[in-house]
Amino acid sequence: MRLVKLIANLGYGSRKEVSQALRHGWITDREGNKLKADAKTPHEDILFDDEPLDPAPGMVLLLNKPVGYTCSIKDTGRLVYDLLPDRFRVRKPVLSTIGRLDKETSGALLFTDDGTFLHQVISPKSEVPKIYEAVLDRPLKGDEATLFASGEMLLEGETKPLKPAELEVLDEKRVRLTLHEGRYHQVRRMFAAAGNHVNELSRTHVGALGLEGVAEGEWRLLDEAAKARIFD
């Protein structure tokens, strides 16, 4: 791929704007040499205005989503993309969330521009576990763990039972729940069906990948080892 197209696809500007940046000498290698449009310089050695380029296509990142942000690129109000560099909104291929968290749910949210990886994570065949912690409105009744693990629980308006889920009681109103599928508002609907209400909800892990070292509202790029933990 020509250098102009590569940098434009990363969101630094139109091809015309990137060509102008090349002519001005704003795009260099790590030794400070001005690059030309036909340069074969490795991605990791290219600087734009003395800063390394954003990650190459195929990236996966983990965001610690705060409450109050919507998983959309077009809705009004605060969007998860507001927490990322502005250029990430216009990357090609498109940077998409891997699944969603509703506006009032916080925690681990993955993004990628790799469609194959996205479908690998969300495929029902993968059964990637997602771990949530919830604060409930009322104390547990005591039968929730058995109900959720039964494999026979039906949500309102659905005809297919939920896959078994594991409930760990942290105290009378706090729980940890592991799901192996991702239905719409699933955790909230499960507790509603059990006669309770979720006041606070956070996703702490996708697979074995947690939020260690990622503060609320911050993100980090995942290396191959971190990506592998999603499928552990």
Give per-residue pLDDT as tens, 76-97: 899 999 999 999 999 999 999 9
Q: Which entry of 102, 143, 171, 232 is annotated as an active-site residue? A: 102
Q: φ, ψ for residue 175 (rounded to 5)?
A: -140, 160
- pLDDT tens-place string over residues 134-172: 999 999 999 999 999 999 999 999 999 999 999 999 999
Cβ atoms of 93 and 57 closer than 8 Å: yes
Residue 102 annotated to the active site: yes
Q: Is 119 helix (H, G, I), strand (E, B) or coil?
A: helix
Burial degree of 226 (CB within 10 A; 0-12, 13-18, 19+)? middle
Which residues of the chain, if any, have pLDDT below 50? none
- Token pair 């205005």 is at which residue? 49
Say what the pTM is.
0.93
Domains belonging to the chain, first-starting first, are 3-52 (3.10.290), 60-124+214-229 (3.30.70.580), 130-206 (3.30.70.1560)
